[in-house]
Amino acid sequence: MAKKLVRFDWAMKRLLRNKANFDILEGFLSELLYEDFKIKQILESEGNKETEDDKFNRVDILVENKKGELVIVEIQNTREADYFQRMLYGTAKVVVEHITEGQPYSKVKKVYSVNIVYFDLGQGDDYVYHGRTTFIGIHSNHELELSEKQKELFNKTSVSDLYPEYYVIKTNRFNEVAKDTLDEWIYFLKTAEIKDEFTAKGLKSASQKLDILKLDPADRKEYDRYMEAQRSDASFVETVKLEITSAVKSREEEIAENALQKGLAIEVVAEITGLSIAEVQNIASNLGKK
């Protein structure tokens, strides 16, 4: 049986910034990064500003772990064609903002960019992607490695450990069958539900602390506003799609009429316009009645 909870993006904006709830986000990042992740502090993030027209299409949070590494967790609800560049900009901005003037480049912090998207970003059949930076010899095909002195200086074992790493979770691609503990988290991210048998780190705490029925009146009112904004946005997107489809359909029918009037065969008109033969036959029948 699954327990219905508040959505993770709203929780990230409202509840997970509270130190008492750090264990929830720590659990998620521990499962994703395959390490025991501990939050040192939550840092300010532009995604947490609020305005009258704030529709919660995007929520992000910036955390620093006990090792001094920075993790951006961003949730994007609506489609953005240039989202890949946004990921790049976000990590670059964090890198620049967290090194002070006069410090050597060895002080550049490691950054992880975790992106939870609710649209089909790019092309690919998986639902979790991981991106790292490596340097491969164009002649030898060998990977460029750190020297022993560099390993000691940076306290890292590979060149890729110095650069930002990216994670993309495409929730719409997940089939809701949890095969491991990370899948259990993705199930929650997609459905806002946690099954009794789930054992992933942080989910037990999330099940208790993110219960809709346990929200105080002010938070419940804010959550209801959030959900209404989500429904409004979804309705708007659906309306736009219908209008575009209708406009395209009208144009196809207009082309079909002109082609039929010029004597083209029904099969040819169907191939040209993409309409079905039955649709073209119906247009031809209506032309005959005019």
* pLDDT band at residue 243 using 50, 70 and 90 as cut-offs: low
Residue 50 in this model has a pLDDT that exceeds 60: no
* Average pLDDT, integer, range 158-166: 97
Q: What is the pLDDT of residue 246?
A: 74
Written as six digits, the tokens of 6 are 């508040």
Q: What is the pLDDT of residue 249?
A: 75
Q: What is the pLDDT of residue 259?
A: 85
Q: What is the pLDDT of residue 252?
A: 85
Lowest-confidence segment of 36-50, 89-103, 184-198 by average pLDDT? 36-50
* Average pLDDT, integer, range 17-21: 94
* Average pLDDT, integer, range 199-207: 97
Write down the pTM of the prediction.
0.79
Strands ordered across the beta sheet of 128-131: 39-43, 58-65, 70-76, 111-117, 165-170, 128-131
Query: Taking a C-beta distance cutoff of 8 angstroms, is the pair 187, 176 a contact?
Result: yes
Q: What is the pLDDT of residue 230?
A: 77
